[in-house]
Amino acid sequence: MSAYDADQRRFLAEHTQAVLATGRRDGSPQLSTVVYAVDGDDVIVSTKSYTAKWKNALRQPNVALLVNDGRRQLVVYGVARPIEADPERAELTARVFEAMSGDAVAPESIIPMLREQKRTILRITASRVLMND
């Protein structure tokens, strides 16, 4: 069963930017503006392996993602799973890049860049979704 109802799924699919909240080592929140794509019921975020959001999610995988559009917003509470290996990393990153630019990207063509930039994926599986208008 999906964590999203039809309206929530449509709202999530219509947007590509969000704020990702992760927990720092001291328990305080860390916020990052991210571009995302949807993969089934999961939200995928491309990040670099040396960023705070990546390190925080590895240590404490419970995260929140806020998709905001004026007074309307969707909050996804979920668990982040790291994806570091190809071909899955390249395929999911290509989807995020396409969400960001609108242009299709061949996954195999970006693998050298992913290695050079130390790019990874956080796959966020929703456990609870809230939406307000």
pLDDT tens, N- to C-terminus, the chain (133 residues) = 688 999 999 999 999 999 999 999 999 999 999 999 999 999 999 999 999 999 999 999 999 999 999 999 999 999 999 999 999 999 999 999 999 999 999 999 999 999 999 999 999 999 999 999 7
Residue 27: inside a domain, yes or no?
yes
Q: How many residues does the chain have?
A: 133
| Helical segments of 15-106, H only | 52-59, 88-101
Query: What is the rounded CA–CA span in Å between residue 119 and residue 114?
Result: 5
Angle value at C-alpha 8, between 128 and 104, nearest 5 degrees: 110
Q: Give the total number of structural domains in the chain.
A: 1
Residue 58: inside a domain, yes or no?
yes
End-to-end, the C-alpha distance of the chain in Å comes to 24
Residue 1: inside a domain, yes or no?
no
CATH number at residue 26: 2.30.110.10
